[in-house]
Structure 1
Amino acid sequence: MKIGVLSDLHIDSNAKRLAPGQTYDHLLAELLYNQEIDLLLLAGDVSSDYHDTFAFLDRMRDHNVSKIQFVPGNHDFWSIRNHEENTDRIYQLFKQRDENPVGNPFLIGDEWAVVGNPGWYDYGFASDSYTIEEFSRKKLKVGGWNDRRYVHWEKDDRTVAAEMLAELENDLKRVSNRKIIMQTHVVTHPQFVIPLPHKVYDYYNAFLGSKSYMQVYDRYPIAYSVMGHVHFRKMFHENDTTFYCACLGSSRHWYTEDPYIEMAYTMEEIVVDL
């Protein structure tokens, strides 16, 4: 089986790169067809409104090129147009979709499983020169983290991160007799955050991932770990795990003007035997 890895399409903010008549779902479907991808692991941040993300996933299903496993990113939980303020309800709607792996690991043959969860940030990758209260405000003197405006969990971030870690571990336990591909949106390894000290990311690393999630690599047979969120394109290997971050990211950081070329350059591939 040939598996594609991709995240952070941001189809709304990257729409300006499309030629007349182009859409990101058609371009992605074309890429999956050309690369003969059987399964796409899409690791969040399709758009900045969950309605737009749902519509994109529906269109990808209608293209019927590859199976998709999708975990929402922080932007996918936003509801800018409709001003919905119950993020947990939005999360439950994502869990009802066919592409959802949360509570429903995707089995590949007799030996492999995809375990997915969006994850959330626990502030663990940031500098301890800031307090938990300062992180929870998500705002410095200049700038801020926009989840403070558009995500409404009605509980603190570290509680959300712990609850999602519990969901992830429950699914990992269920398939621990198999080789595992783990899929999150937030990063789960310090290789994917900005090295400290750093005058900006001493603070903003708090919102990039969860340090507490690193424990799962010692407990479960995770062969591949897929993540997104940070707009890096990076792969590295440690112990028995290969880590992928394949973010299309913001078009201002692209190498070319062509969204198809950028997606093709970004998407990583994993091949597993059935």
Structure 2
Amino acid sequence: MKIGVLSDLHIDTNGKHLPEGETFASLLNKQIKKQNIELFLIAGDISSDYRESQAFLDELKQLSGIQILFVPGNHDYWSRNNGETDTKKIYDFLKNQPESVLERPYIINDEWAVVGNSGWYDYGFADHEQYNELDFEKMKLRVGTWQDKRYCDWGQTDLEVAQWMLDKIEEDIEKVGDRKIILMTHVVTHPKFVVTLPHRIYDYFNAFLGSSSYGKLYEEHPNIVYSVMGHVHFRKTFFADRVQFICACLGGKKHWPTKSVESELLNSMFTFQLPEKATAD
């Protein structure tokens, strides 16, 4: 089975760069067809409104005819167009969509499964000598504000949400038994995906890029083979301790080496092939 991976499409802010007559779903579908992709994983941040993100998923699924799996990013929990203020209500809406793996692992076959959720940031990748938990809870450094402060309201602290998400992943891993796992989160779970410190800005803002506490998943569950994530707008993959880490973000135009949306979709997408199941002679 050939699997495609992408995240951080931000179709609302990137929409002005589309060729005439195209949508992000139509361009992505062309690549799915051209590359014979059979399962497509999207690791969040389709747009900054949950209903627009879901409409994109509906369109892509209809065009491609293949299974699309999705975990929401922090932007997908926003409701800039619809005015919803209860983030857990948005979570429940997205959880109940057919593409979601929130609290519902996807069983590929007897050997493989996709497990995951958005994850949330636990401040662990920031500089804790300069800043403390109260500093991070403000989500503001000088003139810069982390925008989840405006658009997300879980009714809990970030650390509580991060732990809740981690607990859900643990529960879902148990559901798939001894299958090999493709783990998908939105936030990053490995320090190689955050900005190297010291850094005058990211000494603070690394706090909101991922969760260092999720690192224990790989130690406790050796059946995790792939770990897909997004959020940081990096395009990078590497192996560490038997796990292939994959971050395949389209990101914003300022991250693009070319001016073509179609080229950047191709450049940012990552594909891999699951090995065929061995059969007895």
Q: Report how many aligned residue pairs link the two structures.
A: 274
Query: Which of 101-110 and 82-91 deviates more?
Result: 101-110
Q: Which runs of 4+ in 1 moved over 3 A?
A: none
In structure 2, the partner of 1:13 is 13
* Separation (CA, whole Å) in 1 of partners of 2:102 and 2:173: 10
Amino acid across the alignment from 1:118: S
Check whether the contact 1:31–1:260 (CA below 8 A) recurs between aligned residues. no
* Separation (CA, whole Å) in 1 of partners of 2:83 and 2:122: 25
Aligned 1:22-41 pairs, distance under 5 A? 22-41=22-41
C-alpha displacement of 1:65:
3.3
Query: 1:208-259 deviations in whole A, cap 9, x for unaligned?
Result: 0001100000111110000000000001101110000000000122111111
Query: 1:13-66 deviations in whole A, cap 9, x for unaligned?
Result: 111211221110100111111111000110000001111101111111211332
Aligned 1:99-118 pairs, distance under 5 A? 99-118=99-118
Question: Which residues of structure 1 form unaligned runs of 5+?
Answer: none
* Separation (CA, whole Å) in 1 of partners of 2:169 and 2:140: 29
Aligned 1:1-274 pairs, distance under 5 A? 1-128=1-128, 129-220=130-221, 221-272=223-274, 273-274=276-277
Q: Secondary structure at the match of 1:194?
A: coil
* Separation (CA, whole Å) in 1 of partners of 2:92 and 2:231: 21
Q: Secondary structure at the match of 2:104?
A: coil
Check whether the contact 2:125–2:191 (CA below 8 A) recurs between aligned residues. yes
* Separation (CA, whole Å) in 2 of partners of 1:253 and 1:189: 21
Question: Which residues of structure 2 form unaligned runs of 5+?
Answer: none
C-alpha displacement of 1:83:
2.2
State the TM-score, normalizing by the size of structure 2.
0.95
Q: Secondary structure at the match of 2:205?
A: helix
Query: 1:129-170 deviations in whole A, cap 9, x for unaligned?
Result: 111111111111111100000011111000000000000011
C-alpha displacement of 1:82:
2.5
Check whether the contact 2:32–2:64 (CA below 8 A) recurs between aligned residues. no
Amino acid across the alignment from 1:249: G
Q: Secondary structure at the match of 1:3?
A: strand
* Separation (CA, whole Å) in 1 of partners of 2:164 and 2:189: 15
Amino acid across the alignment from 1:78: W
C-alpha displacement of 1:176:
4.0
Check whether the contact 2:45–2:231 (CA below 8 A) recurs between aligned residues. yes
Check whether the contact 1:6–1:247 (CA below 8 A) recurs between aligned residues. yes
* Separation (CA, whole Å) in 2 of partners of 1:197 and 1:29: 41
Query: 1:104-123 deviations in whole A, cap 9, x for unaligned?
Result: 21112210111021100010
C-alpha displacement of 1:261:
1.1
Query: Which of 128-137 and 183-192 deviates more?
Result: 128-137
Check whether the contact 1:32–1:65 (CA below 8 A) recurs between aligned residues. no
Q: Secondary structure at the match of 2:46?
A: coil
Amino acid across the alignment from 2:251: G
Query: Which of 195-204 and 252-261 deviates more?
Result: 252-261
* Separation (CA, whole Å) in 1 of partners of 2:82 and 2:93: 15
Check whether the contact 2:33–2:64 (CA below 8 A) recurs between aligned residues. no
Amino acid across the alignment from 2:192: Q
Check whether the contact 2:233–2:255 (CA below 8 A) recurs between aligned residues. no
Distance 1:205 1:176, change over 3 A: farther
Query: Which of 114-123 and 253-262 deviates more?
Result: 253-262
Query: Which of 30-39 and 60-69 deviates more?
Result: 60-69
